[in-house]
Amino acid sequence: MPVKQTKISKTEYETLAALRYTLRQFLRFSEEAAHAAGLTPQQHQALLAIKGFPGRDHITVGELAERLQLRHHSAVGLADRLVAARWVTRKQDTVDRRQVYLSLSARGEAVLERLSAAHKEQLRRVGPEIGLLLDRLRG
């Protein structure tokens, strides 16, 4: 079934541009906060993916790859760097030794807690603006 094409109004372009700008400001904040904490933005995303995985506080390398939309070998390299920096611990499954789980170390927990608090505060600031822009686009 063909997708229905609708004309985009000037107001909608302006709203889309404003939304993109606001999101980019938040992403820049996030990138700078990660660097200030001694992490790359991708490492910060990985810590959050591990801690925020539904139902448990550990994740497989394959699940990390999926959550960050990386190729498996790239996720392996990222996990290696996180373990080497002591942000994450690696543990083999006791039943299936091929399965490896990544968990945050105490050091990783502490840095993620600080970063998440800062991100929540920033989202409190920009969230209403994002909500208004999304409402305009739904409207």
User: Count of domains in the chain?
Assistant: 1
Q: Is residue 3 part of a domain?
A: no
Global pTM value: 0.89
85 vs 103: CA distance, rounded Å = 13
Residues of the domain holding 36:
10-138
Q: What is the residue-wise DSSP string for 89-125?
A: EEEE-SS-TT-EEEEE-HHHHHHHHHHHHHHHHHHHH
- pLDDT tens digits for 32-72? 999 999 999 999 999 999 999 999 999 999 999 999 999 99
Number of Cβ within a 10 Å radius of residue 59:
25
CATH of the domain at 100: 1.10.10.10
Of 109, 114, 101, 119, nearest in space to 56 by CA = 101
